[in-house]
Amino acid sequence: MKEPPLPEITSRRMLASSRLFSIEELNLRFSNGVERVYERLPVRGHPGIIVVAVNDRREVMLIREYAAGFHERQLSLPKGGAQFGEPLELAADRELKEEIGFGAREVRFVKRLNLAPGHMGFTINVMFARDLYPMRLPGDEPEPIEVVPWPVDALDDLIHGGEFNEARAIAALTLTRKFLEQG
Amino acid sequence: MKEPPLPEITSRRMLASSRLFSIEELNLRFSNGVERVYERLPVRGHPGIIVVAVNDRREVMLIREYAAGFHERQLSLPKGGAQFGEPLELAADRELKEEIGFGAREVRFVKRLNLAPGHMGFTINVMFARDLYPMRLPGDEPEPIEVVPWPVDALDDLIHGGEFNEARAIAALTLTRKFLEQG
DSSP calls for B108-139: EEEEEEES-TTTB--EEEEEEEEEEEE-----
For A175, which residue in chain B has the nearest alpha carbon? B160
Per-residue confidence (pLDDT) for residue B183, from 0 to 100: 59
- Contact between B37 and B26 under an 8 Å Cβ cutoff? The reply is yes
Q: Which residues of A touch B109 (CB under 8 A)?
A: none
CB contact under 8 A, B170 and A165: no
Mean pLDDT of the region A44-55: 94
Residues B124, B127, B132, B136, Cα dihedral to 10°: -20
Residue in B3, B155, B168 to test binding to A, most A beta-carbons within 10 Å: B168
Has residue A124 got a pLDDT over 90?
yes
Has residue B182 got a pLDDT over 90?
no
CB contact under 8 A, A117 and B70: yes
Q: Angle formed by the axes of helices B167-182 and A167-182, to 10°? A: 60
Has residue A69 got a pLDDT over 80?
yes
Q: Find, among A3, A4, A7, A5, the residue nearest to A29 by Cα.
A: A7
The 10 Å Cβ neighbour count of residue B73 is: 17
Going by their DSSP bridges, the two strands B22-29 and B79-81 should be labelled as unpaired
For B8, which residue in chain A has the nearest alpha carbon? A71
Q: Which residues of B touch A12 (CB under 8 A)?
A: none
CB contact under 8 A, B159 and A165: no
For A114, which residue in chain B has the nearest alpha carbon? B166
- Give the nearest partner residue to A116 out of B36, B69, B73, using CB atoms: B69
The model's pLDDT over B8-51, given as tens digits with 9 standing for 90+, comes to 999 999 999 999 999 999 999 999 999 999 999 999 888 999 99
pTM for the model stands at 0.97
Percent of chain A with pLDDT over 90: 93
CB contact under 8 A, B167 and A171: yes
CB contact under 8 A, B167 and A115: yes
Has residue B65 got a pLDDT over 60?
yes
In DSSP notation, A138-167 reads: ----SSPPEEEEEEGGGHHHHHHSSS--BH
Q: Given pLDDT bands bounded at 50, 70 and 90, which one contains residue B1?
A: low
- Contact between B110 and A159 under an 8 Å Cβ cutoff? The reply is no
The model's pLDDT over B109-139, given as tens digits with 9 standing for 90+, comes to 999 999 999 999 999 999 999 999 999 999 8
CB contact under 8 A, A115 and B168: yes
ipTM of the complex: 0.97
Interchain CB contacts (distance < 8 Å): A and B: 206
Has residue A183 got a pLDDT over 70?
no
CB contact under 8 A, A124 and B167: yes
Tally of CA atoms within 13 A in the half-sphere of B45 that contains its CB = 17
For A26, which residue in chain B has the nearest alpha carbon? B68
Element (H, E) at B14: strand B8-17
Residue in B8, B9, B10, B15 to test binding to A, most A beta-carbons within 10 Å: B15
- Give the nearest partner residue to A165 out of B114, B166, B167, using CB atoms: B114
SS (H, E, C) A71-110: CEEEEECCEEECCCCCCHHHHHHHHHHHHCCEEEEEEEEE
Q: Given pLDDT bands bounded at 50, 70 and 90, which one contains residue A137?
A: very high
CB contact under 8 A, A170 and B9: no
Cα dist from B59 to A152, B127, B132, whole Å: 29, 16, 11
The model's pLDDT over B68-95, given as tens digits with 9 standing for 90+, comes to 999 999 999 999 999 999 999 999 999 9
CB contact under 8 A, B170 and A113: yes
Per-residue confidence (pLDDT) for residue A45, from 0 to 100: 85
How far apart are the C-alpha atoms of B13 and A97, rounded to whole Å?
Answer: 34
